Amino acid sequence: MKSSTADHYRNPRHRGSLSGPHVHAEGLNPSCGDDFSIDLQVENGTIVDVAIQGQGCSISQASGSMMSEAVVGKTLDEARGLTTTFKLMMGIDEGDDPLDLERPGAVLGDLEALQGVRKFPVRIKCADLPWTTLSDALDQAEA
Ligand code: ZN
């Protein structure tokens, strides 16, 4: 069963912070006033836990909640693949085939609900904020 964007906004997943060893990244979307931060706990190249904080519009917060659910249990490579697929779906990145289902993380599940945001270019940055922040955290986890 898919969860709607509104459900993720009302009942955000993985909200809070991690107490054990983790990497932390923060992001801002000044055009809307959204902020987002993420804690990732990585063991042996796999994301074993995630916690998110932040405030802002429903799109940024719902996107963050969906992202947090999507990356738990994924390897760093799979999380990168998901990020790539998301940015292709939203038209943020080009030059690859968004329908390449062989790519790790090609199946977005609930995240496909955010596809509608493409119709509102000003809101794309809101949906992208958690993913850009995730990329920062993945960079740190790989460092
Ligand atoms: Zn926003």
Question: In the prediction, which pLDDT does 109 show?
Answer: 73
Tens-digit pLDDT profile for residues 34-46: 999 999 999 999 9
pLDDT of residue 138 exceeding 80 = yes
Question: In the prediction, which pLDDT does 129 show?
Answer: 97
Question: In the prediction, which pLDDT does 22 show?
Answer: 96
CA of 48 to the centre of ligand 1 (A): 28
CA of 128 to the centre of ligand 1 (A): 9
CA of 86 to the centre of ligand 1 (A): 17
Tens-digit pLDDT profile for residues 102-133: 555 556 677 777 888 888 888 999 999 999 99
Residues of the chain above pLDDT 90, percent: 61
CA of 11 to the centre of ligand 1 (A): 17
Task: Give the residues across from 36 on adjacent strands.
Answer: 27, 54
Lowest mean pLDDT among 8-17, 84-93, 108-117, 134-143: 108-117
* The two three-digit tokens of residue 58, written as one number: 């429903």
pLDDT top residue among 72 and 101: 72
Task: Give the residues across from 24 on adjacent strands.
Answer: 39
d(CA 73, CA 104): 13
CA of 44 to the centre of ligand 1 (A): 34
Question: In the prediction, which pLDDT does 98 show?
Answer: 52
Tens-digit pLDDT profile for residues 59-72: 999 999 999 999 99
d(CA 44, CA 29): 32
CA of 34 to the centre of ligand 1 (A): 5
Question: In the prediction, which pLDDT does 121 show?
Answer: 85
